[in-house]
């Protein structure tokens, strides 16, 4: 069966746990995501450990955000690990995004628009006035003009972003919570089924899978529910 379009966030405190989660979920999902916690502790070796024998796609979520020359150097440094996806913050601006795209030609650069942990009230406090939709759409259009071929937004904005950027751009949505699960520190959330129906290409799901008693079984259940939504009987 084709793995579901899910990136499991391996936000583990140690490599053994991350590799175990990766092995449990990879039969069911297309992608695993390595973030700052693991990468800052273990460095580049973490990629091979979680990729394992399955060769699952690895999404390297470093959310780079610096001047263009520095981001280019960082993107070049990690591109030899051949991650499928690398994140940068869209608010770094067009020259920074272009620098990452040029420095890592074999990796899809995903621009993170507005973090899914920010509420509308938080947006005001960091100077992004207006609804989240407006800021996300603006950043999405700018990032695509600068060469990004993937965008990260919340499921709440994915339909608006799709209509802004068209069909060719990969839309990635964290802030995904199966019905009835705790939202934790996420503010702008939706269920996996809703995110997919609204146009997401890849759903990032961490703790609802990894903190469950059986991450493999939970990943399989979320994947099966998505398949049912995609092909209603």
- Which residues are near ligand OMP by CB under 6 A? 9, 11, 35, 61, 63, 87, 112, 115-116, 152, 174-175, 184, 186, 204-207
Q: How far is the CB of 200 from ligand OMP (least distance, A)?
A: 12
Reply yes or no on whether 122 is catalytic: no
Of 65, 105, 62, which is closest to residue 87 (Cα–Cα)? 62
Q: Is residue 63 annotated as involved in ligand binding?
A: yes
192 labelled binding-site residue = no
Q: One of 63, 102, 122, 201 is an active-site residue; which one?
A: 63
Q: Which residue lies nearer to ligand OMP by CB, 185 or 231?
A: 185
Q: How far is the CB of 169 from ligand OMP (least distance, A)?
A: 15
Q: 81 or 88: whose CB is closer to ligand OMP?
A: 88
Answer for the pair 64, 110: CB distance below 8 angstroms, yes or no: no
Q: Find the shortest distance in angstroms from Cβ 87 to ligand OMP.
A: 5
Question: Cβ distance 143 to 111 under 8 Å?
Answer: yes
- Determine which one of 14, 66, 134, 201 is catalytic: 66
63 is catalytic: yes
**Residue 92 or 233 with smaller CB distance to ligand OMP:** 92
CA distance 232 to 75: 41
The CB-of-44 to ligand OMP minimum distance in angstroms stands at 19
Percent helix, strand and coil across the chain, each rounded to 5? 45, 20, 35
48/28 Cα distance (integer angstroms): 19
Q: Does 207 count as an annotated binding residue?
A: yes
177 marked ligand binding residue: yes
Exposure on the CB side of residue 105, measured as CA atoms within 13 A: 1
Pairing of strands 85-89, 57-64: parallel
Closest CA to 101 of 156, 56, 155, 143: 143
What whole-number distance in Å separates Cα of residue 17 and Cα of residue 56?
17
Whether residue 35 is annotated as binding a ligand: the answer is no
Catalytic residue numbers read 61, 63, 66
Q: Which residues are annotated as a binding site for substrate?
A: 11, 33, 61-70, 116, 177, 186, 206-207
Q: Which residues are annotated as a binding site?
A: 11, 33, 61-70, 116, 177, 186, 206-207
């Amino acid at each position: 069966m084709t793995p579901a379009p899910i990136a499991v966030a391996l936000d583990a405190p140690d490599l053994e746990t991350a590799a175990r989660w990766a092995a449990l979920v990879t039969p069911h999902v297309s992608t695993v995501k390595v973030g700052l916690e693991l990468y800052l502790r273990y460095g580049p070796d973490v990629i091979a450990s979680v990729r394992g024998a399955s060769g699952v796609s690895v999404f390297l979520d470093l959310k780079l955000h610096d001047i263009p020359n520095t981001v280019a150097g960082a993107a070049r440094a990690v591109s030899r690990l051949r991650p499928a996806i690398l994140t940068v913050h869209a608010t770094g601006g067009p020259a920074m995004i272009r620098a990452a795209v040029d420095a890592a030609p074999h990796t899809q650069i995903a621009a993170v628009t507005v973090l899914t942990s920010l509420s509308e009230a938080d947006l005001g406090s960091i100077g992004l006035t207006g609804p989240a939709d407006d800021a996300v759409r603006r950043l999405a259009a700018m990032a695509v003009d600068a060469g990004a071929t993937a965008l990260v937004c919340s499921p709440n904005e994915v339909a608006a972003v799709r209509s802004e950027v068209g069909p060719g751009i990969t839309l990635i949505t964290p802030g995904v919570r199966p019905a009835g699960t705790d939202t934790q520190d996420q503010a702008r959330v939706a269920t996996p089924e809703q995110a997919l129906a609204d146009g997401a290409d890849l759903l990032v799901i961490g703790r609802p899978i990894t903190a469950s008693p059986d991450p493999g079984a939970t990943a399989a259940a979320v994947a099966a529910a998505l398949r049912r939504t995609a092909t209603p009987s």
